[in-house]
Amino acid sequence: MFANPEENVARLHLKEREKVADFGAGTGAYAIAAGKVVGRNGSVYAVEVQDTLLPRIANAAREAGLSNVKTLWGDIEELGGTSIPDNIIDALILSNVLFQAEDIHALFEEVRRVLKPGGRVLVVEWRDSFNGLGPQPDMIVSPSSVQDTCSRGGFSEKESFDAGEHHYGFIFEKTS
């Protein structure tokens, strides 16, 4: 497997009852992993711009026995584009979305808006383009670019790690 959602989500140290957002949820693998940890009294907002993926995520959550995963259509690069209220999210997941973003700074403004002070962000992103797997080389977002964007955006780095065979990972915290 390229990246293990359960292992990477574990780095967030989620607790029962926490609220999590998965921006660019895709097929829902990270949302499902988080939903299992936060329990039925927690909640996970699986936010995806491709509305055809939302039923797939909902079905995967149902098959996993999870009623705490809510699917939302949203534009993660627009301030307020996710419709999640301000400052309610304990932890946020960004897995394989930065290379697709047209405006990474706007994306992190939306992340900052929804996170509580002290909220954590898991970033998992492609290290490189591997023989046609993953994004094109010119779309790769370097670890130093992520660090710089987060530092300027009001996040402090808590951890960096290998997030799979072809991925790097970070945990950041909203500073205020």
Domain extents in the chain: 5-174
Which residue reads 């290998």 in tokens? 162
Helix/strand/coil for 170: strand
Distance CA 163, CA 124 (A): 6
Collapse the DSSP code of 148 into the 3-class scheme (helix H, G, I; strand E, B; otherwise coil) and give the result: helix
Can you tell me the distance from the alpha carbon of 27 to that of 16, in angstroms, rounded to the nearest whole number? 23
pLDDT by residue for the chain (176 residues), tens only, comes to: 478 999 999 999 999 999 999 999 999 999 999 999 999 999 999 999 999 999 999 999 999 999 999 999 999 999 999 999 999 999 999 999 999 999 999 999 999 999 999 999 999 999 887 777 778 888 889 999 999 999 999 999 999 999 988 899 999 999 97
**pLDDT tens-digit series, residues 134-163:** 788 888 899 999 999 999 999 999 999 999
Q: What is 5-174's CATH superfamily?
A: Vaccinia Virus protein VP39 (3.40.50.150)
Position of tokens 């808590």? Answer: 158
pTM: 0.95
The answer to whether the beta carbons of residues 11 and 171 sit under 8 Å apart is yes
Query: Are the CB atoms for 162 and 169 separated by under 8 Å?
Result: yes
Q: 120, 27 in Cβ contact below 8 A?
A: no
Cα gap 170→47, rounded to integer Å: 20
Q: What is each CA distance from 149 to 36, 42, 105, 156, in whole angstroms?
A: 30, 29, 7, 11
Contact 45, 93 (CB under 8 A): no
Distance CA 33, CA 22 (A): 11
